[in-house]
Amino acid sequence: MIIQDIEYTDRYIRITLDTGEYFRVDNASVPSGLLRRGVAIDIDAYNHLKEESMLFECKEKALYYISIRSRTEHDIKKYLMKKGFDKTTISRVLQYFTERGLINDYEYAVHFIQSVREHKVIGNKMLERKLFERGVDKGIIKKAIRKTVDKEPDIEQVYQLALKKYKQVKEKHNPHVKVVAFLQQRGFGWEIIKKVMKRFGDDYEDIHDIQE
């Protein structure tokens, strides 16, 4: 096999062989001795070009994916696997992105929590579930929640949320129990729920048997 053509761009080098096959590779990934037209390459050099080309294409897909919005490492890995890249190539890309700060699950988690709380009154447990579903490590999640503790909804906000739900279910059987279940689904802990429900007065049913 012989290198028939070499095309340089700002982001990559395109190397075309006399077989018609071509590779796009990172500028720094190919030995300088290969970068000449008319050079014959052996099977080892061919495999190197193929491997580096696959790595470059994988990086390009990942860059496009994170350019749309922030992603977790789990999201990117899942996306690249669907695109048909092998585990070794994906692992190299994830390491490359992590080293350059293009993947940071902690920053993602902090931003996610802040963004969600700007639009919803929501408890920590639901935030934990949502982030865990996105593949964020539990330790990172807890650290991010501690970081955003000042953004947690206060009792008044949770009470107003509970009151709104109560008005929707007050004509049904055990409305206060339904409100408690609703708050649990929203991710609020038992201590917050008890404080909120006490504000309904003495007319609500005994809820102490409903535990997390």
3-state helix/strand/coil string of the chain: CEEEEEEECCCCEEEEECCCCEEEECCCCCCHHHCCCCCECCHHHHHHHHHHHHHHHHHHHHHHHHHHCCCCHHHHHHHHHHCCCCHHHHHHHHHHHHHCCCCCHHHHHHHHHHHHHHHCCCCHHHHHHHHHHCCCCHHHHHHHHHHCHHHCCCHHHHHHHHHHHHHHHCCCCCHHHHHHHHHHHCCCCHHHHHHHHHCCCCCCCCCCCCCC
Question: Does residue 212 have a pLDDT over 70?
Answer: no
Q: What is the pLDDT of residue 196?
A: 80
The mean per-residue pLDDT over the stretch 118-127 comes to 84
Q: May I ask the CATH class of domain 3-99?
A: mainly alpha
For 167-197, letters b (16+ CB in 10 Å) and e give: eebeeeeebbbbbbbbbbebbbeeebbeebb
pLDDT digits (tens, 9 = 90+) for 50-83: 999 999 999 999 999 999 988 999 999 999 999 9
Q: Which amino acid is at 164?
A: K
pLDDT digits (tens, 9 = 90+) for 162-182: 888 888 887 887 777 788 888
pLDDT-above-70 percentage for the chain: 90
Q: Which residue has the higher pLDDT, 192 or 76?
A: 76
- Look up the pTM and report it: 0.70
Mean pLDDT (the chain) is 84
Question: Does residue 38 have a pLDDT over 80?
Answer: yes
Locate the domains of the chain by residue range: 3-99, 105-151, 155-198
Give me 125's structure tokens: 């447990």
| 143: confidence class by pLDDT, cuts 50, 70, 90 | very high
Give me 208's structure tokens: 């102490």
Question: Does residue 27 have a pLDDT over 70?
Answer: yes
